[in-house]
Every structure is written in structure tokens, then in C-alpha cells.
Amino acid sequence: MATVRLALAQMDAVVGDLEANVASITRARRQAQVLGADLVVTPELALMGYPPEDLLLKEGFVEACQVALEALATSDGLPPVLVGTAVPEGAYGVALEPSSDARDVARVPGFEQRAHVANVLAALDERGVVAVSAKRYLPNYDVFDERRYFHSGVGAGAVVNVRGVAVGLLVCEDVWLDDGPALDLVRAGATALVVANASPFARRRQDDREEMLRARARETGCPIAYVNLTGGQDELVFDGQSVVVDARGDVVARAGAFREEILVAQVEARESSAGVVVMTTSRGESPTHLLNRVEPRLTEIEEVYQALVTGTRDYLRKNGFTEALVAVSGGIDSSLVATIAVDAVGARSVRGIALPSRYSSEGSVTDAVDLAERLDIELTTLPIGPAHAALSTLVADALGEEPPGLTDENLQSRVRGVVMMAISNSTGAIVLTTGNKSELAVGFFTIYGDSAGGFAVIKDVSKVTVYELARFRNERARELGDPEPIPASVLDKPPSAELRPGQLDVQSLPPYEVLDPLLELYVDEDATAEEMIALGHDPALVRRIVRLVDHAEYKRRQTPPGVRISRKAFGRDRRMPITNAFRPEEP
């Protein structure tokens, strides 16, 4: 048996920032050199960031990526590296399938002369690019849209030889198939496999990954190193949790979640002379306590919380926002969003704005003040009564009568939205909206009111999970000996928008403990009304909720992006037409 020491560079790539990504890869190689690694492995499309989307159609982008790739060859004695990137057909001998399973870019106006593009893992040492493995299976489901941009590779893929171990190169989806590219590489002589990934976070996703890797290792008889991106990109969050399994499928190394790091794993594999090229490497000594470290898994609720913090932090940081605004009402949603924002960017970068109306309870006003003190954030209180009265009068003049009740309720929310956006315009701070997935699903929010803002932190978080996250964060504070950020009174009070006297959410919606399971079935699992009724749910309630979800599509389409934490979020995952007359649930 031979051994190879792999350094999995779990990095936070920035889409389109080639210079920064080259610097990150180079820094990872330097760290790997200190740690005595033989080969560095980067995530899928690490050189350009994932997903690059229509940047791949921009004139000169793929070419600029190729120039950046070549620049990594000047290694100064650094260990060889496997780089995730995209290259045009024909570059480095890359051969692609015809356009049967991919959009033919040649038919797009303005791109008649463009070559087809491959999603690849390229092997480099001091000689330059010595081997390239092109992704064969292009996912086109959930958040993935790769057939719009890429063509499939042909052949078994590349095998490189490092210290007598024949290492087969895979890209993401290719490792998921039984009797697929992984086994093809073994038939070509590979005795170990590495796979570069850009696998977004979703609840329980890591369980799926490790179960698949166990199955693939047993099928191939090879150890497998799986490196994943970390960090946030628009709605997506990448959790890292890169992992290495041995030939039996047992986890022998695992990186942490939601952080950049170099995971060094010494892998034992059958010795082989296979490989299109022998990669030159000079192994140094590695601190033994850093080899094959297995980071414990987070609990599911801790994973979700860290995903929200990471997604919020990176959306602000990567888009140049230095301050966040939160409309703090004294309710559970705004309290959680403010807490996440502080954990993401720090208390000095978060400002709370309290906008009480004449219907706001005294308890809500004091809870907002209490929250701000616990989080140590600046709080500005701006009563909206005068503005609401003036706007109500204006609307009454337009209608010839007093605005109806719901219209008047929405006016309050829209006054708040106008004030928040005015402060944002004047300061450059981004407004974080506070609506949750349950409310967005049934349209229980005011368009151009509480939905106004730049980033929707808990857009994909059900109301029940909002409470779970708040309790988790308070419990974590207690464990650390810190003040609980969210007042107990916020957790204990019944949910209310406080837009009319005595208003409670349960007056308009079923209890969230009843509503959220129905929404999960209909939205996340695509169950029909009949299937939900067959499970024992009240038929009238099911049909009402289904109608509310379908009718609110036009409102959801106009909400800001937000962190995806479920397997089916509104937007990227669930793409329903706004104009839609199909009503299978109606008799």
C-alpha cells in the first residue's frame, strides 16, 4: 500500500473575483506546503466562484479564467494543485459531448463564435496544466442550471499519479451515480478518488453526502476525498464540511462547517503506476495532530443558524455593505433577524429602528428597547402615528371615504417601509427584512411594506423554526455565560402584526404548529391537496392554504433574495408561474 497526503482547500470563493480567488488558492498551497501535503484540492469552479451563472456567457470571462489558471503554474516549489474552473472545448485536450444534453451556445445571438465550455478539475504543477477532467453529468434540478452553460465531458476522466497513488479526478455530480464516472476511473487504473464540489447547504444534506460516499467507496474499493465550498453567494450558502472516507467508507477526516480551512488527510491506497502524468511533489513534515482531524458534526438547528449567519455576513461583505438596518418591532422575527445580523457583522454595524404605531403594545416597545440593550446595538425610535394619519387622510381623499380596515393596516406597514428605505438611501446601509417562510407562503405580509428591503434573512425559515432558532441562540448564550439576546417576553407572547387593536396571527391563520406542516408538504414536498387530505389533514383547511399559497406568488416574486436553508426555497428551487389557472385541488 502507498500513502498520499491530501490538502483539501475548503475555501470561500468570490464569484467573478479571479484575482482574489487566485490569491486564496495560492495561500492554500503555501499552507499545504507547511503542512507537508503532496497535493492540494480545491472545490468546484473555485477559480471563478459558484455559481457563475450568465458570467459564463460574457465575452472574455472564460478566457480570463484560463489566463488566471495558467498563472497558478508559477508555484515557487509549492505542491501541485487541482483547480476547479471552466475551459473551452479543445483547451488542454478537453473533448465534449454534442449539445444533446446542453444548451447550444452557438444559437444565442452575440455568441455565434463561442466555443462550448466544460466544468473541469485541472491538475497543475510547476510545468503548468498537466491533466484535465471534465464533468460528465450536469445537474439541472433544484438550484442547479448547468445545462444552460456547460457541455458534458467524454471519456473516463483524468488520473494523475502522486507518490505511487493513482488519483482519479471527479467533479461533484459525477460521484453520485452508481456504476458511473467513479467506477470508470477505477477501471482506468485509479486507486484513490478526489471530488471537487460546490454543494449548497440544505437541512440534512451532509447526511446524504456521507451516506453516498460510503456507498461509492465500497463500490470502487477506493478512498475518496470530497472537498466542498464554504461561504455565501446570493441566496445560496455553502457549508464546507469537506470529508475523506477510506476504502471501507468510514470517515477518516472531516473539516468544520461554514468556515475556510485546510483539511490535511493522509490516505492509504493501493500502489499503482497508472496515471497520465506523474505529478512532482516534495513532501515535508506535517504536525501529526493536524492529520486526519475529524471535526464533530453540528446539530441540525446549529447548522441552520450558522447558515443564516454565514449567508447574511457574506451577502453584506461581498456586496460592499458595511451597515445593516433592522426594523425592530419587539416581535420574534425582527428579534431573531437582529441577533443574526449582530452575529454576522458585529453590533457596531447593526442599527435598530423602532417604528411603533398607536396599535403597538407597551410590551412590544419595551421589548424592542430590551433587545437592543442585550445586543448592544444603536436603537432609534420613530413613532409613525403622524405619518400614518397623514397618509390615511390622503387615501381617504382619493377614495372618497375612509380606507377599509385591511388597507389601513397595510398603510402602517408601508409607512415603515418608506422610512426604512429612506434611511437606507441616506446612509448606504442595507435593510434586512424580517418576514419568515410561513408568512411569505400564504401572503401574510405587505408588499412594499414589511417586504421592502435588500436582503431577507429568514425568508426560507418557517415560523416554528424561528422559535427554535431563537431558543437555540439563547441557550448558546447561557452556555457561554453571556446575556440571552432575545428577551423571554418576546418568546412567550403570541405572534401579532399589531396593526389593529387586539390583533393576533391566529385570527387570520391556523396556529403555526398546524400551518407549517401543511406548508412543508405543499411547498417543500410538492404534495397535492388530495395527498395532504389523505394524511388526515382537514380538507377545508388544506384547500384554503393551497389557495393562499398559489395566490401569493406575485407578491413573493417581488421580495428580496434571502438565505436558502431548505431543500425547496421560494425562488431558485420553486419556480411557479404567476399567471396560473391550474387548480387541481378544486372540485
Active-site residue flag, 135: yes
Residue from 65, 135, 520, 585 carrying the catalytic annotation: 135
- The residue from 65, 172, 222, 261 that is catalytic is 172
Packed helices 385-399 and 405-427: angle between N→C axes, nearest 10 degrees: 130
What is the identity of the amino acid at 202?
A: A
Q: Is 217 helix (H, G, I), strand (E, B) or coil?
A: helix
Place of cell 483524468: 158
Q: What is the Cα–Cα distance from 136 to 147, expressed in whole angstroms?
A: 11
CA distance 379 to 365: 11
193, three cell numbers? 478518488
For residue 380, list its beta bridge partners.
353
CA triple 440-442-446, angle to 5 deg: 55
Kindly list the distances between the CA atom of residue 164 and the CA atoms of 139, 189, 273, in Å, as whole numbers in the listed order.
Answer: 33, 12, 6
In sign, the C-alpha dihedral spanning 549, 550, 552, 557 is: positive
For residues 7 and 242, is the Cβ–Cβ distance under 8 A?
no
Output the CA–CA distances (angstroms, integers) from residue 415 to 360, 418, 431, 439, in the order listed. 14, 5, 14, 20
Active site residue 44: yes
Give which of 549, 487, 519, 10 is closest to 255, Cα–Cα.
10
Rounded Cα–Cα distance for residues 168 and 158 (Å) = 6
Q: Using alpha carbons, list the distances in angstroms from residue 568 to 131, 142, 372, 519, 575.
A: 37, 7, 33, 11, 10
Residue 95: how many other CB atoms lie within 10 Å: 12
Give the CA diameter of the chain. 87
Provide the 10 A C-beta neighbour count for residue 538: 14
Catalytic annotation, residues: 44, 135, 172
